[in-house]
């Protein structure tokens, strides 16, 4: 059991890395996209650019927000929060 | 043979990513070889390379056999996107001063010190410390290359091209490393990582969105309105927004900020 957990932990760290919110954001947007495709409410020519803009905007906003929040917390604690960010 | 945008992006991403990872692996191998001797170090390195080749072949062909095209695009595209964003995020943090730059000289000294402290444990006729450290170092650094080779190669339907890109990068790093006989600390590592992060995120976004077609009635991949030109649009968007992110984060760093933490 410990081996399975360690194996899953390794792959989570390897693919997702330090900021799970970025992966979560991508998953939510693709989930919405999947629902829109299933419902067949938008043409490909509209849906694909819409998805692209949503993904790029959300992940870049999260990168900045995550870095700022780490920076603020580290100022308060007097230690670089990025150490806990691994 | 003509190369299209996807082939060029594939080669560029694989060569750059492989070069970065091989430079890091070379640092570990050099430190072990110089401190503990070359025989066990090179055997560990060779076995790691064989293991990586096996992982590439088995995982690559298993995925092709099991997954239909649109599901493969969605699955692999999403993994590539999340993985690429990890590279891009770290490159942005390093460029904005919130994370220390990776220092190969420092890493080399740390590895050498550890090698000199470690006792002598001989197993199977090998210096076990040198063997294990070089095997693990090469295998783990190489795993990122394998991941990129498989994900890019499968989606672009060109694993041999991707593998060739990795081979070219390995050869360049090995030749330069052999000539220099020291860690390659003067390469612009963060710039390379930034470029790789942008390329992986661009192609990951492109393929993941295309792969959403698996949820449509016929399970056919979605069509982009102007085809591969969207790759260029995505690339430019990621570059511009990343530079803006770096500028924004730099502005937010005041004089009282703690120093950047060491690189990982």
Give the range with max mean pLDDT: A7-16, B6-15, B41-50, B213-222: B41-50
Domain assignment of residue A78, yes or no: yes
Domain assignment of residue A26, yes or no: yes
Domain assignment of residue B264, yes or no: no
The residue range of the domain holding A53 is 17-85
Domain assignment of residue A7, yes or no: no
Kindly determine whether residue A38 and residue B253, on different chains, have CB atoms separated by under 8 Å. no
Which pLDDT score is estimated for A53?
Answer: 95
Kindly determine whether residue A18 and residue B86, on different chains, have CB atoms separated by under 8 Å. yes
Tokens 């703690």 belong to residue? B258
Domain assignment of residue A1, yes or no: no
Average pLDDT over residues B158-183: 82
Give the range with max mean pLDDT: A46-55, B104-113, B194-203: A46-55
Domain assignment of residue B31, yes or no: yes
Candidate from B105-119, B174-188, B220-234 with smallest mean pLDDT: B174-188
ipTM of model: 0.83
pLDDT digits (tens, 9 = 90+) for B188-199: 778 888 898 999
Q: Where are the alpha helices (DSSP H) in chain B?
A: 5-36, 38-66, 69-95, 104-117, 128-155, 159-180, 189-211, 229-252
Domain assignment of residue A45, yes or no: yes
Which pLDDT score is estimated for A39?
Answer: 94
> pLDDT at residue A86 above 80?
no
Q: Which of B213, B215, B254 to probe the A interface (max A CBs under 10 A)?
A: B215
pLDDT digits (tens, 9 = 90+) for B21-63: 888 888 888 888 888 888 999 999 999 989 988 888 888 777 7
Given CB atoms, is B16 within the 8 Å cutoff of chain A? no
Domain assignment of residue B262, yes or no: no
Given CB atoms, is A23 within the 8 Å cutoff of chain B? yes
Candidate from B37-46, B107-116, B124-133, B240-249 with smallest mean pLDDT: B107-116
Identify which of A30, A74, A75 has the shortest CB distance to residue B208: A30
Q: Decide the pairing of beta strands B122-123 and B126-127.
A: antiparallel
CB-CB neighbors (< 8 A) of B98 in chain A? 67, 70-71, 82
Which pLDDT score is estimated for A71?
Answer: 67
Secondary structure (DSSP) of B130-178: HHHHHHHHHHHHHHHHHHHHHHHHHHTT-HHHHHHHHHHHHHHHHHHHH
Considering only alpha carbons, which residue of chain A is nearest residue B253? A71
CB-CB neighbors (< 8 A) of B208 in chain A? 26, 30, 55
Domain assignment of residue A10, yes or no: no
Q: Are B80 and B71 in contact (CB under 8 A)?
A: no
Domain assignment of residue A36, yes or no: yes
Q: Which of B84, B202, B222 to probe the A interface (max A CBs under 10 A)?
A: B222
Domain count, chain B: 1
Domain assignment of residue B161, yes or no: yes
Domain assignment of residue B239, yes or no: yes
Q: Which of B85, B142, B150 to probe the A interface (max A CBs under 10 A)?
A: B85
> pLDDT at residue B230 above 70?
yes
Domain count, chain A: 1
Kindly determine whether residue A78 and residue B261, on different chains, have CB atoms separated by under 8 Å. no
> pLDDT at residue B73 above 80?
yes
The residue range of the domain holding B24 is 5-251
Chain B residues 102-161 within an 8 A CB cutoff of chain A? 143-144, 147
Given CB atoms, is A20 within the 8 Å cutoff of chain B? no
Give the range with max mean pLDDT: A48-52, B53-57, B250-254: A48-52
Task: Tell me the β-bridge partners of B123.
Answer: B126
CB-CB neighbors (< 8 A) of A34 in chain B? 212, 215
CB-CB neighbors (< 8 A) of A70 in chain B? 98
Considering only alpha carbons, which residue of chain A is nearest residue B252? A68
Average pLDDT over residues B238-258: 79
Q: Which helix (H) or strand (E) holds B127?
A: strand B126-127
Which pLDDT score is estimated for B260?
Answer: 52
């Amino acid at each position: 059991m410990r081996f399975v957990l360690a194996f899953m932990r390794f792959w989570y760290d390897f693919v997702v890395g330090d900021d799970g919110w970025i992966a979560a954001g991508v998953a939510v947007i693709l989930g919405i996209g999947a629902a829109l495709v299933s419902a067949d409410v938008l043409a490909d020519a509209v849906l694909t650019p819409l998805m692209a803009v949503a993904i790029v905007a959300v992940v870049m906003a999260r990168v900045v927000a995550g870095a700022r929040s780490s920076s603020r917390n580290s100022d308060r604690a007097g230690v670089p929060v990025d150490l806990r960010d691994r | 043979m003509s190369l299209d945008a996807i082939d060029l992006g594939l080669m560029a991403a694989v060569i750059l990513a492989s070069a970065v990872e091989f430079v890091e692996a070379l640092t570990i191998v050099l430190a072990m070889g110089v401190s503990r001797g070359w025989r066990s170090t090179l055997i560990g390195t060779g076995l790691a390379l064989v293991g990586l080749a096996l992982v590439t072949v088995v995982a690559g062909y298993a995925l092709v056999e099991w997954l239909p095209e649109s599901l493969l695009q969605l699955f692999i595209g999403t993994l590539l996107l999340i993985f690429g964003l990890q590279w891009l995020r770290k490159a942005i943090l390093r460029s904005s001063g919130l994370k220390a730059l990776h220092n190969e000289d420092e890493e080399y000294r740390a590895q050498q010190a550890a090698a000199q402290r470690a006792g002598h444990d001989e197993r199977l006729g090998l210096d076990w410390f040198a063997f294990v450290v070089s095997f693990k170092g090469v295998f783990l650094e190489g795993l990122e290359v394998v991941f990129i080779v498989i994900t890019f190669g499968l989606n672009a339907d060109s694993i041999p091209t991707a593998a060739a890109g990795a081979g070219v990068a390995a050869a360049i790093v090995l030749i330069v490393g052999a000539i220099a006989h020291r860690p390659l600390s003067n390469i612009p590592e963060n710039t390379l990582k930034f470029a790789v992060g942008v390329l992986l995120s661009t192609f990951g976004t492109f393929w993941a969105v295309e792969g959403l077609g698996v949820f449509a009635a016929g399970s056919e991949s979605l069509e982009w309105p102007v085809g591969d030109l969207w790759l260029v649009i995505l690339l430019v968007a990621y570059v511009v927004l990343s530079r803006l992110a770096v500028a924004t984060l730099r502005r937010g760093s005041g004089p009282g900020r703690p120093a950047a933490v060491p690189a990982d």
